[in-house]
Amino acid sequence: MFYEIRSYRLKNGTIPQYLKVVEEEGIEIQKSHLGTLVGYFFSEIGTINEIVHIWAFASLDDREARRQRLLADPRWQAFLPKIRDLIEAAESKIMKPANFSPRSEAH
């Protein structure tokens, strides 16, 4: 299992707007293609204006195929402009759990 940890730094004050549009439209489109959502978080203490979401994939090939299907979906293409200007920076990490990690057998 591989985990993609995506982090976005949003413009000041836009977390409520971002979360609202993702909850109302974006997350269902993502889940229909990406599959296993491990968690979706926003910062409360520490780095401010940060969104982190974590997705689980069977393999890197699985991730690539799922991301390509998401990008090709016209619903996703119509949704992207609603969040694009709220994001200042983005980062994506691919993580693999250690054998003793509680998450290594959860999916």
Q: What is the tens place of the pLDDT at every residue in 52-69?
A: 999 999 999 999 999 999
Pick the CATH number of 2-97 from 3.20.20.140, 3.30.70.100, 3.40.50.1370, 3.20.20.150: 3.30.70.100
What is residue 105's predicted lDDT score, i.e. its pLDDT? 47
Q: Where are the domains of the chain?
A: 2-97
What is residue 103's predicted lDDT score, i.e. its pLDDT? 63
As a whole number of angstroms, the distance between CA 11 and CA 28 comes to 24
As a whole number of angstroms, the distance between CA 52 and CA 14 comes to 14
User: Which backbone phi and psi does 104 adopt, to 5 degrees?
Assistant: -65, -25
Q: pTM for this structure?
A: 0.88
Residues of the chain with pLDDT > 70, as a percent, come to: 95
6: pLDDT confidence band, cut at 50, 70 and 90? very high
CA distances from 52 to 42, 61, 72, 75 (A): 6, 22, 23, 22
